[in-house]
Structure 1
Amino acid sequence: VLSTELRKASKRMSCSKRYKIQKKVREHNRKLRKEAKKKGVSKRVKKDPGVPSSAPFKEEVLREAEQRRLQEKEKKKQTKKEERAQKRKKEKEAASKETEPSAKKARQVKKIPVAPDKNSKQYLCSQLNKVIDASDVVIEVLDARDPLGCRCPQLEQSVLQREGNRKLLLVLNKIDLVPKENLEKWIQCLQQEFPVVAFKAATQIKDKTVQAKKSRIVASNEVLDKSRGAACFGSSCLTQLLTSSAAETENDAPLKVGIVGFPNVGKSSLINSLKGILACNAGIKRGTTKSMQEVHISKNLKLMDSPGVVASPSNPAFSMALRGLQEEDRESALEAVRALLKQCDKTQIMLQYNVPDFRNSMEFLSLFAKKRGYLQKGGVPNMEQAATVFLSDWTGAKLSYHCNGQANHSPPAYMSEAVVAEMQNGWDLNQLKTGNNETLKGNNVTSLIPKCFICCLTAGLLSVSDISEGKPVEADLHDDNEVRPTCTPTVQLLSLIFYISPCLPGKQHSVRFKSVPINISVSTDDAYDFNTDFK
C-alpha cells in the first residue's frame, strides 16, 4: 500500500461546485460583451462571400481586387522599409553626437567617398601602369592579322625606360586566321626587335564546375576538343619559356608576368588558355576587362590581366576604325563602317552578307538591316544596329583579312642595338624557335584573300595628361583606294599598301605595291565604284 505522501490528488469535484464555476464563466463573458457594446466595438467581421459565379465580368472584378491587394501590400512593405531606414539614420546621428565633440562637429563636413568610374580613361591608364610596375616580364599581345597596327610605341617606351630589368615579349595571337607563310614573315620581322611567340588561344573554355561535369562524358568531350574554338596552340612553348625564366629569379619569388595590349587582341583568352579554366572574363565587346586581375598559373608563375591600352585621339580616324578602337556612338560607328567598306573587297562583302550591289556605306547598311530584319517603327532600317553587327563581325573571325609581312621593316627610334641585345638576352631562343615551328604545324590556313590594309603603329595613352586638345586627325579613302594618312611624330607610317586583283576563277591573285604620299585630304564622297577600283 502506497503512502499518502506519494498518492496524487484527485481531480474529481462535486456537481454543485462544477455548476457554480460554469455559471461564473457565463456571467464574466456577458459582462465583457456589455462593456464592448458600450465602447462601440462592432461584432466580428463576417467572411467575404466573394463574387458569385453568375455575376457578369467576374474575372475582371477578381483581377482588379487582386491588384489592389498587391498594391496595398507593397505600400505597407515600402512604408515599413522607410521607417526602418529613418530609425537607423536617427541611431547613427545619435551615436555620432555622443562620440564627436561639439566644436569638432561644427567644423567638420561629412564627405561621402565617391567610387571611381571604371570606364574613365584616367582609371584605365592607372590600372595599366599598375600592371607594368608590378611586372617582371611584360607580354604585349598582338593580333596576327595586323601585328604592326596592334603595337603601341608609347607602351614599349614606357616599359623600356622604367627602373628594373623588365623584359618585353611579343605574342602573336589568333594565328589561325592568317596563312602560314605570312605568319612566318611577321615572326622573322618582329624577332629583329623582341622575342616572338606564336599563339592561338582557346575560345570555348568553361568554368571549373562545368568542365568537371563534362569530363565524365567521354564522347562529347572528344568532339569538343576537336572543334576549332577549343583548340589551343603555343601554350606549352610559352609556359616553358616563362617557367625557365621563373627558375632564375632570386629568393624563389614567383615570376610576375603582365599581359598588356590593345582591346580585342586576346589578353584574357591567353590567360584562360594557360590556366585551363575560365579565370578571366573574355568577349568580343571591347572593354570587358576593367581592372588588374592576378591569376596563379603555378607556384613560380603568376599572370596579371590588364585593361586594354587607351588609343590616342590623334590617330587617324580610318586607322581607329580598322582596329576597332573608335568611340561607341552612332556617328563613330557609321564612320567606321564607311572606312572598312573602303578597305574590303566589294564582291566578298556581297557574298558574305547576301546583299545586292551597293553604291556607298549607307546603302549597304540599309540593305544589310533589311536582310537581317533590323527594322524600326514603320519599317525604317536600323542603321545603328546594322553597323554594330558589322563591326563585331570585323573584330571577330567572320571577315577574313590580314596584312602582308614586311621584309624591310625599320625598327623605331627607341629600339637601339643595345636595347635589342638586352631584350634578347636571358631567353632560350633555340627553344623558342623549336616551339614556334611546332605551333606553326597546326596552322592549316593557306588560302585567305587579304584586304587592302595600311600598316602603321597605333599611338596609345599611358596617362590622361597626354591627350591633345586638338581634333583627331582624319583621313579619307579615295576612289582609287589610295590612303593618305597623317600621324603624330611618335607614329611611324610604312608607306606601302597593296592592291589585290578581283577573285576570278582560274587566275592567280596578284599583289602589287605602290608608294603613298602623306597628305591631309578629307572628302565627303562616299561613293564606291567597284569597276573603277578593281580594273
Structure 2
Amino acid sequence: MARVEPNQRWFGNSRVISQNALQKFQTELGAAVKDPYKVVMKPTNLPITLLNEKAKNARVHLLETESFESVFGPKKSRKRPNIAVKGMEELKELSEKRVDEYSNEKDSNIVRDNEGVKELPRDWVMGAGQSRRIWNELYKVVDSSDVLLQVLDARDPLGTRSAYLEKYLKTEKPHKHLIFILNKVDLVPTWVTQRWVAILSKDYPTVAFHASLTHPFGKGSLINLLRQFAKLHIDKKQISVGFIGYPNVGKSSIINTLRSKKVCKVAPIAGETKVWQYITLMNRIYLIDCPGVVYPSAETDTEKVLKGVVRVELVNNPEDYIGAVLERIRPEYVKKTYKIEEWNDPEHFLEQMAKRSGKLLKGGEPDIPSVAKMVLNDWQRGKLPFYCCPPGFEVPLNNREKGQKSLEVVQDFGKIRVGHTFEGDDVKKLEPIKNLDKAESEFSEEKSEIGEDSDSEIDEEEETEIEQTGKVNSEDAEIKKKGKGNGNRVEHKGEQEIDYNEDSDDSGSDISFYSDMETEDPDKLYAASGVFEVEDLGKKKTGAKNVQSGEGKSEKKLTSKQRRAIERAHKRKKIGSNFYEVTNVKNRNRNRKKVKA
C-alpha cells in the first residue's frame, strides 16, 4: 500500500497541477523507468507509488460516483485511457504479428487425438537445469546482484534467451540492470554477429564477446560498461555482477577471460557449475557465477539436446537426434568435416562414419550409438559450422526505418577471429559501423587507465608484499649465475633472496617464461610490460654506486604497472610444490642436543 510522507507541506497550502500535467509526468517517468538505456538518478520525494497504485476493488455504483456528464460531457474531468493501439491499422498489424508467432504444435490448449497411443514420461535427463536447488541458486544470484548479465549463444540467441527471467526482472526487480552478452561469436560469421547485436540492442544493451584467455574479443567494452555501472552506484562500497543464462553458454569462461586466469571450473559440457561463486574483478566490482537454468517450456527433446542443455553421455538413443543435426548444417560443411561425400539417411551417414573412424563391433558391425555421440559432441563444442539467421537479414541495416534505430555498444566486429571457414551465401560484407573512430579514440585514452587501475585492484594481495620504493634501478634487480641447473637468483634491495630452480613444478606458462629468459640475453629481464636491463652480480659494487650517483648513465623511472610486472615475474607462484626442497623437514632436529634424563 502506498503511503504519503507525514510532512506538513503535503497537508497545507500546496501548488495544484492539472490532470494533463500529472498524466504527462506519469507517462514520462514510466518510460524512463522501463527504458534499459536510461537510469533515474535521484528519485523525487513525491509519493510516486500513488501513480502506480491501481484500484483493487471495483466500484459497484459507477454512475453514482461518476456521472455521464463528468465523463463524456463538456465538463469531463476523467483522464484519457491508455490504449495499446490507436486505430484499426495498428490493431490489424498487431493481430497479424501474433498470428505469425503462433505455433500450432506448441499450443497446449488444443485437445489432440492420440489414437490410443500414450507417450512415455519424459526422461529425467531432459529435466536438466530445472531442479529446485538450481533455481534457489539463481534467486540467490539475482538478489545479490546489482547488474545482471544474461549470456546468450551467438549460434542461437533466441533459443538461449529466457523470456521468463526478463519478465521476472521487469516486474519484481525493476531496479536491477540487465545486459545481454552474445558469447561464442567466433563460431558464426561477423555479419551475423552484427545483425544479432543490432536486433538485441533494441531491448537491452548487448555486447559481443569471445571468451578466450589468449585472444578475447569484447573484454575492454564489457569492462568499460561495468566501470560505468560502478560509477553510477557511487553510493555503494561495491557492486555485484551476476551471470545468468542457459547451461553451456560460457558464463564461467567469460569470468575467466575478465580475470585473465582460471578462477572458475570450466568444461565443454553442461552442468559443470554446481553452486554460485563470488569472484573479485576489481576493488569495487565483484562477479557472481551461477549454474545454468532452464525454464520449463514446450521445448522438445531434440531442441534441448542441440542447445547443449543435456550431457551427451547421458542421452538415450543418441542416433535419434542426428537427423536434426544434418538438417541444420549445410551438406558442404558436413562433407568437409567428416570426409563423407554422400548419404541417403542419418543411419547410412552414421554407418559410413563408423567405418571411417574405426568404431566397429564384433563381426564388423558399426557402433552406431558411439558414433552418434561423437557427432553430438562435435555439435555442442562448436566444431560444426551452424548459426540461426537473424530475422530481416535480407534488408541492409542502412535501409531500415529511422524510427527503429536504437543505442548500441560500439564494437569493431572486423577484429573477431572466426574459427570456421564459411562459404557461399554465408560470406557477406559488414555494414559500416558508425562512430567507430570516436569510440576507438575514447577507448585508447581510457585503456591504459583501465589496465593500470584493474591491475592495481586485482593484484591487491600481491602489492602488499612489494615495497613502494618509487625507483627501480640496476641495484633493485640483480641476476646471479651459478651455472646450469642452479637457475637464476634474483636479489631485491631490502628483501630476502628467492631461488628459482629449473626443477620446480610450475605451470606451463611459468616454465615457458623462464625458459625464454635463459635462452635470451642474460643481461635483460623480460616481463609482461617490457624488457628491462639488469646488472650482473659479478660486477663491482662501486660501479653500481657510480650508476646510482648519476655518473655516465641516467636512470629511467618506471611506472607502477611496470614495477608490479617485475615483482610478479620474480614472485614464486606455487609454494607447496617446492616445500620439501626449501624446508628441511626430515633432519630439522638432528643437531639438537638431547637433554639427559
TM-score between both structures, scaled by the size of structure 1 = 0.50
Higher RCO (CA-CA < 8 Å; seq separation 6+): 1
Q: Which protein is bigger by CA-based radius of gyration?
A: 1
